Amino acid sequence: MAARPEIDQGNFTFDDSRISWGPFPYVENAEFALSDFDEERRVIDVLFKFAANKKITVHTHIQQTNMLVVQGELRMYETDGSIKEIRHAGQYFRGKKDDTHSEGGGPEGAIVFYSVRVDERDELFDILDDKEQVIATIKIGDVRSMWEAKNGALGI
């Protein structure tokens, strides 16, 4: 077996300057960039950039959502606002369906890659108000519209 090459373990940072960030419906304190939408395979890949020390809207992941913390620290919150878990850059997590929580960036903010694996249902996320009542549901058709708008803007 070949020896593992030495890699400089310097302080790497993720350069997001070439990413076109924008708002995500009903979500404050974060921006997103839709990376890929494969409707046939029902996979959605997206990056979120979370503001430092701010929480986003409480929501429920209806679908399997896997994540990789690319930069910073992602703080996961219970619906009562207490910290559930802190996830650091380089950590990968396989999310659970029907998981209700909030999340947000740590002291330096966070950039997180999400891969959503959509089952036969078209619903992706429920957005909740402060009484944990559903105020909106993000569906696969909403993402399709975002994807078409992005590709139209790129002239693809």
Residue 10 lies in a domain: no
**21-35, 64-78, 139-153 — which is least confidently predicted?**
139-153
Within 8 A by CB and 6+ apart from 134, the residues are: 126, 127, 128
Q: Which long-range contacts (CB under 8 A, 24 or more apart) does 20-24 make?
A: 20/150, 21/49, 24/48
Residue 28 lies in a domain: yes
**Backbone phi, psi, residue 2, to 5°:** -70, 150
pLDDT of 114 reads 98
Over 60: is that where the pLDDT of 156 sits?
no
pLDDT of 1 reads 63
Average pLDDT over residues 99-112: 97
The pLDDT confidence band at residue 123, using thresholds 50, 70 and 90, is very high
> Which residues in 10-24 are b (16+ Cβ under 10 Å) and which e?
eeeeeeeeeeeeeeb
pLDDT of 72 reads 96
Residue 2 lies in a domain: no
As for how many domains the chain has, the answer is 1
CATH code for the domain of 137: 2.60.120.10
Q: Report CA 44 to chain centroid distance, whole Å.
A: 10
Residue 150 lies in a domain: no
Range of the domain at 43: 22-145
Over 70: is that where the pLDDT of 100 sits?
yes
Residue 154 lies in a domain: no
Percent of the chain with pLDDT over 90: 81
CB 34 within 8 A of CB 147: yes
Residue 107 lies in a domain: yes
Average pLDDT over residues 74-99: 95
Average pLDDT over residues 124-140: 96
The pLDDT confidence band at residue 9, using thresholds 50, 70 and 90, is low
DSSP strands (E only) in the chain: 22-24, 27-38, 43-50, 59-61, 64-77, 83-88, 92-94, 99-117, 123-128, 134-139
CA distance 93 to 69: 9
Over 80: is that where the pLDDT of 15 sits?
yes
Q: State pTM to two decimals.
A: 0.89
